[in-house]
Every structure is written in C-alpha cells, then in structure tokens.
Amino acid sequence: MFLSGKFLNRHEKKEQAIKDHIMKMTAKYNMDNISRTEAYFHFYKKHPEIRWAFLASMVSRNAGWNMCDLEGSCFPKLIGKKFRDMLYITYERANWLIFQDAFPQLLLYHYSTKLNRPMFHLLKTFHVSAFMEKEWLYFWKNRNKKRLMISLIINEQNVIQEPVMEHSIYKNKVFHTLLFSFQDYLHFSSVIFPTCKGELYGASVNGFRSVSKRIDLGKRLAEILFDTSYYDDVYEFAFNSVHTGSRHDYEKYFKGRKRRTTPFLRCTYPIITHHIHQFTDWSVKKRIKSKWTSESVVLKHPVHIKKWYLHKQDQLHKAAKLGKIFRSIC
C-alpha cells in the first residue's frame, strides 16, 4: 500500500517542524555553562531513563566551577591573564561542542517517546555520528540504560578530540604547556559530586589529553553517581542548588567555610558565539575499542574525596602565596 502525496507532505512538514524546534532549543540552551547545566538536568527530570543527562549536568556544573576558579582568589596570583583566558575558552569550546552534539539527540528521543516511534533517522540532520544513531536504535529496542550512557560518554569525548584536544591552537597554547602538565600531574582538576550535607564524592582527572582516559573517567563518574549509596544525596543537591558557577554553591555546606572565594559565572564572563566550520563523523574514521564499551568499571581510589579536596585547596592557597614564582612559568 502506497502512502499518498498528501500524507507524505504532512509527514515531512511535521519532521521539519521538529528539526526547526530542536535547532531553536539547542541554540537557546547552548548560550553558556549555566543554561547548559539547567537544560541537561531539566531533561533528566523528564526522562530519568537517560542517565547520561544527569551525569552531563553534574559534569557541566564542574566545568562552570573550573571556569570561575580562573577569576577567583587563587588562580590570578598563579596564572597570567592571557593563559587564564585561553583556559576559559578551552573549557567553553569543549562544553559548547558537546552540548551542540548531545542536546539534539536528547530532544529527538523526547519526540520519539511523544510520537511512539523512533525518530533517530533525523540525527544526520544535526551531524550526529553514525555510532550514536545505531546506539539510540539499540536502546529503543532493548532499553539497556547503562549501554546507552556509556555510548554517550564515548561519543562526547570523541566529539571534542579533534576540534579541541588535537586543534593546533589549544594543543600548543594549553595542553602542551608546562603549567597544564603541572596541574594534570598533581590532580588539581577533579570532578566533584557535592551533597547538601557537605560531603563530596567524585574522582580526579589525570591524563586529560587521552580520549581513552577521559572515557574511563566518565564511566567511573557514572558508577559513583548512580551508586545507590550516593545517588539520592547528589540528586538532592542538584535539585535544590541553583548553579551559579561559584564553588560557594557547595562550599556553603561546609562547616566553618562559608566565605565565597570564586565569582558567579554570569557576572564574570561574556556570552561567546561559537561556530563549527567543518562537520566530520569521528566514528567513520575510528575503531571503537572494546575497553570503551566495557560495562565493567574499576574504582581504584576512594570515592569520598572531601578530605582530598580540602588538602588540594590548601595546597592551592599556599601556592598562590608564591604566585610570582609560578607565573614565571606560564
């Protein structure tokens, strides 16, 4: 039985309306770190089966805290303005690219649930990898939540590998600098899941330039976040705490540490307009490694990291007092 031209026209118009709406919503919520964080969490509340959205919202919070650290009480004493601005652009570019790729996927899933049929053939419109189109279809049929979450982790880290991690400007001016290597080696960068009880869970970032290590980190963070021992407390924090970009968002829950030392993001940074000059499907050129897709995750280090975090913060404050020495290596 053939579909009439009138039906096809109506069908095409509906799909075009969906595509237009997704483009509009993606542009709206990809404005800055605050809007991205809120969009991920809002989606998760509607679709808790898509676990990656909650993970993305919490990692996005951390990106905002890292950005605001650059203009806080310590880093300006350690790092020159030019390098701080370059670090901010690097964070912002990577997070913008991930959202630009991931949010249309989330919205297409949302529409698929509304229409009760998979709409993932439209992923091509948004230049999403063939790998993710296959994974979304697999999820639609099999409902394997963990596999989809891991697939999205694999995808997001490969999305930023070439345009950010391997881009000549970011590589030479950020990732191959002595200062970045120093920070990476000492694990000053960490991903933190706070609670309203003043506890901190998470993992430190090491070997940031390696896509495999970033994927491994993402899987370890997911394992922590969705552990029943921590999930409810972290969700309570996310639900009740407005994201400002300042570490005061969670440090206010610490006993005896209530003074804010990092600024609010929207009072600090302007809106940046991004562009993608060339779209490439990373999954066409790369082999998917078996260790990437493995659902087995090993947590080698303690998950409760508050003591570790406070120690690193003390180190940072001490280093800031020697700022002139550190600035000389920027």
What is 39-54 written as a DSSP string? Answer: HHHHHHHH-TT-HHHH
For residue 289, the 8-state DSSP code is -
Non-local CB neighbours of 311 within 8 Å, separated by 6+ positions: none
Backbone angles phi, psi at 92, to 5 degrees: -65, -45
pLDDT at 90 over 70: yes
Banded model confidence at residue 205, pLDDT cuts 50, 70, 90: confident
- What is the rounded CA–CA span in Å between residue 223 and residue 221? 5
> Could you give the CA distance from residue 143 to residue 141 in angstroms, rounded to a whole number?
6
pLDDT above 50 (res 56): yes
- Mean pLDDT, range 2-11, rounded to an integer: 58
pLDDT band at 185 (very low <50, low <70, confident <90, very high): low
Task: Please compute the mean of the pLDDT values over residues 91-115 and round it to a whole number.
Answer: 97
The rounded Cα 243 to chain-centroid distance in angstroms is 14
Quote the DSSP letter at residue 120. G
**Domain locations in the chain as residue ranges:** 19-327
pTM: 0.93
Produce one character per residue of 251-260: b if its CB has 16 or more CB atoms within 10 Å, e if not.
bbbbeeeeee
Element (H, E) at 160: helix 145-160
**78-93 average pLDDT score:** 92
